[in-house]
Structure 1
Amino acid sequence: MKKEIRKFYTIVEETHIEGFKEIDKPVGIAAALAVIKNPYAGTYVEDLNPLIDEYSAYLGEELPRRAMQALGISGEEVEGFGKGALVGLDGEIEHGSGLIHTMKFGNPFRSMCNNAETLLPAAEKRASAGASLDLAIKHKMDPKTRSHHMTFEVTVPDAPRADEIMVAAVVTSSGRAHPRIGSLHKELE
């Protein structure tokens, strides 16, 4: 199997005012997406390992690198992260899940984020070109830090085609603006 990447797409958001109040430090979020050919579209295949072996480790490093670069931050400065896959209509959700729910994808991603410790939250679904995907985000070191629980909506106008998969990585430079609900740690005391 040979990599077939039709395009990379990057989305950056920088929020300065939230809730009608200025933010001390702008909230930066960036998602990097790759639109790849799905070799299993339109057919059932038992062994997904060739797809995983070809793409997972590469995308697990390339996508967070592009997202961090777009925000102008290092892995040390990343505070929150997440991942996702949007599978075209002739594919199975399992094809996208196979790509992102492996250590081959997650370990390079966590490593690039200064050896993050938490599991990457994920979103995956099947849809037609132009559909949106809401990427779940959590703190890279502590999943109970509620200030970093958020989502980021991504879409690529012409992807995924029926025989493609859109794979995404998202990073943040902080948590939500003006967090006020506290940590889950406090409720567990």
Structure 2
Amino acid sequence: MPEIAVRKYAVTVEEIHHEGGPAAAVPLKRGAALAVIANPYAGRYVEDIQGFMDDLKPFGLAMAQRLLAAMGGDAKAIQGYGKGAIVGAAGELEHGALWHVPGGYAMRELLGDAKAIVPSTKKVGGPGTRLDIPVTHINASYVRSHFDAFEIGITDAPKADELLFALVMTTGSRIHARVGGLKASEIKGEDGLR
């Protein structure tokens, strides 16, 4: 299988105290870890690409650990997550789909067997392309207070023959969440939805 050739990493963490209303008792942290790697399939169609997904699994776990460390290191503090990929122009959208298992399962494992599916998005784009990564609660996708998105991107990535992979974590609901729905305190934990 192809070797993972990393060009760069980036990690960013926001600390949100308020969104125009009263300051939160505990600020919300939202963070993203990004990696830009060579796309081993750029410029050509390859039928069997699934093996690279297995190669990416340790890489996904290392990225999740990097992000968790930047968020303070406490897996129990993480309440939301998401993932995404931007494929350079010489690749195809399916190359971004290779991130589903390595990115998603890595975060679920690291966060104590989280129940909810990790929401995801992907697209093809050039350097500077931005991507809004959806975020949901780690144990119940229907917790409305945790519906969010985190915009990611790197000025010089991805180049045509690269992939940009991203993971996102949050420590809570949107600041001032107040539109009803299932609350985190009401999660039953049966199916990853409620």
TM-score in same-fold range (> 0.5): yes
Counterpart-to-counterpart distance in 2, 1:73 and 1:171 = 12
Amino acid at match of 1:100: W
Question: 1:64 — aligned with what?
Answer: 64
Contact 1:147/1:179 (CA < 8 Å) preserved in 2? yes
Instruction: Write out per-residue CA displacement over residues 105-149 of structure 1, whole angstroms, 9 at most, x where no aligned residue.
Output: 432220101210010000100101111111100000011111110
Q: What secondary structure sits across from 1:168 in the alignment? A: strand
Contact 1:83/1:122 (CA < 8 Å) preserved in 2? yes
TM-score by length of 2: 0.89
Question: 2:86 — aligned with what?
Answer: 86
Counterpart-to-counterpart distance in 2, 1:105 and 1:154 = 15
Which residue among 153, 156, 169 is the counterpart of 1:155? 153
Question: 2:6 — aligned with what?
Answer: 5
Contact 1:58/1:105 (CA < 8 Å) preserved in 2? no
User: Are positions 1:101 and 2:100 aligned together?
Assistant: yes
Deviation at 1:181, TM superposition (A): 0.8
Amino acid at match of 1:52: M
Contact 1:87/1:164 (CA < 8 Å) preserved in 2? yes
Question: 2:34 — aligned with what?
Answer: 33
Deviation at 1:64, TM superposition (A): 1.6
User: Are positions 1:143 and 2:141 aligned together?
Assistant: yes
Q: What secondary structure sits across from 2:33 in the alignment? A: strand
Amino acid at match of 1:107: Y
| Residue correspondences, number | 183
Contact 1:11/1:154 (CA < 8 Å) preserved in 2? no
TM-score by length of 1: 0.91
Deviation at 1:67, TM superposition (A): 1.2
Amino acid at match of 1:61: L
Amino acid at match of 1:119: I
Counterpart-to-counterpart distance in 2, 1:169 and 1:58 = 14
User: Are positions 1:129 and 2:124 aligned together?
Assistant: no
Q: What secondary structure sits across from 1:25 in the alignment? A: coil
% identical equivalent positions: 39
Aligned CA RMSD, in angstroms, stands at 1.5
Structure 2, unmatched stretches of 5+, are 187-194
Greater share of strand residues, 1 or 2? Answer: 1
Q: What secondary structure sits across from 1:17 in the alignment? A: coil
Question: 1:44 — aligned with what?
Answer: 45
Counterpart-to-counterpart distance in 1, 2:61 and 2:146 = 22
Instruction: Write out per-residue CA displacement over residues 151-179 of structure 1, whole angstroms, 9 at most, x where no aligned residue.
Output: 00011111101000000110011110011
